[in-house]
Structure 1
Amino acid sequence: MNKRVIIEMPEEIHDLMEAEAARGGMKPDAYVLDLIVERLEDLHDIALAEAALERIRSGESKVVSGEEFWRGLDD
């Protein structure tokens, strides 16, 4: 089920959003939804990267060189 969200934004941002949506051949609602989805995906990727970095820092995971990685695949 879809939900409706109403936001207020400065007129200049609204105008820019409408212009960019039109330039991409999209309706403003679809354009804004795409932006939100893209941003949420970025935040998810950042969270995964931060978790991986924490595992490396804590010693739970280790970093190997490209040479070591490929050598392990040759076995």
Structure 2
Amino acid sequence: MTKQAAVRLPDETYARLKALSSRTGRTATYYIREAVEEHLDDLEDVYMAEQVIARVRSGQEPVHTLDDVERDLGLAD
């Protein structure tokens, strides 16, 4: 199943997209879908990382030094 979404693009971006579509014979929709699928994982990772950073800065997320981890794993000298 697929869902439809509307996207507003700046004129220059739209022109580039249409030119690429014309040169390659693929639709603009194809390239929009490709871009979203390619970058969605990265965007999700950035969003989650920003949430963790905010929790660390507010003291709500525990942090561990490398020395602590090595000691807990029995790797410290």
What TM-score results when the alignment is normalised by the length of structure 2? 0.54
- The residue number in structure 1 matching 2:41 is 41
- The residue number in structure 1 matching 2:50 is 50
Which structure has the larger Rg over C-alpha atoms?
2
Q: Percent identity?
A: 26
- The residue number in structure 2 matching 1:61 is 61
Aligned pairs, how many? 71
- Displacement, 1:4? 4.2
- Residue 8 to residue 64, structure 1, CA distance change in 2 (3 Å): closer
RMSD over aligned Cα atoms: 3.2
Higher-helix-fraction structure: 1
Unaligned runs of 5+ in 2: none
SS in structure 1 of the partner of residue 73 of structure 2? helix
- Displacement, 1:38? 2.7
What TM-score results when the alignment is normalised by the length of structure 1? 0.55
- Residue 6 to residue 51, structure 1, CA distance change in 2 (3 Å): closer
- Displacement, 1:8? 7.2
- Displacement, 1:54? 1.2
- Displacement, 1:27? 7.3
